[in-house]
Amino acid sequence: MAKESGLAWSALSIDDSSGSLQDIRNDITNFTFATPRAVQDITGIDKSAMERLLLLADMSVTLNGVFNDAANKSHAVFKTVPSTSVGRQITLTVSGQTLGTTPQVELMFTDYALTRSDSGELTWSAPGVLSNGEIPTWS
């Protein structure tokens, strides 16, 4: 195993509202994602340390990028977030490791926020949360 950087992701694709997967890597400047598990505290009064059970899996993502209204790019993918209630498949791949193809990870994007900075930059942010009940799995 070798340590690697996060440079040159080979896939970061998201469905548009019609269900067509679009590669928007070139528009994304940075992102975060998490795949947490819920826990239940089951500590009895006979214990001096915590006992827990792992519960449901989850996933969240926040994508940040530069405004691009070309066909099949970020604005085309996210402009319908305020007006549609559709889950969107997401695929993340780096160094041959893929999150989101089998099973398909589907997210609900909850916002498409545009920001125009005082220096003139036009950027966006799009947070999403797991919506289809599939466990996010790396393959």
pLDDT, tens only, 45-92: 999 999 999 999 999 999 999 999 999 999 999 999 999 999 999 999
Q: According to the model, what pLDDT value does residue 70 have?
A: 96
CA 139 to chain centre: 16
| DSSP letter (8 states) at residue 26 | G
Is 129:59 a contact under the CB 8 Å cutoff? Answer: yes
**Residues of the chain with pLDDT > 70: what percent?**
97
Vertex 121: Cα angle to 119 and 123 (nearest 5): 145
- Residue 37 has a pLDDT of 96
Distance, CA of 81 to CA of 112 (rounded, Å): 6
Nearest in space to 30 (alpha carbons), one of 4, 2, 6: 6
CA–CA separation, 29 and 26 (whole Å): 8
Spell out the residues 6+ positions from residue 72 whose beta carbon is closer than 8 angstroms to its own.
16, 20, 22
Is 1's pLDDT higher than 70? no
pLDDT, mean over the chain:
93
Closest CA to 80 of 4, 5, 36, 16: 16
Say whether pLDDT at 139 is over 80. yes
Please provide the distance, in angstroms rounded to a whole number, between the alpha carbons at the two ends of the chain.
16
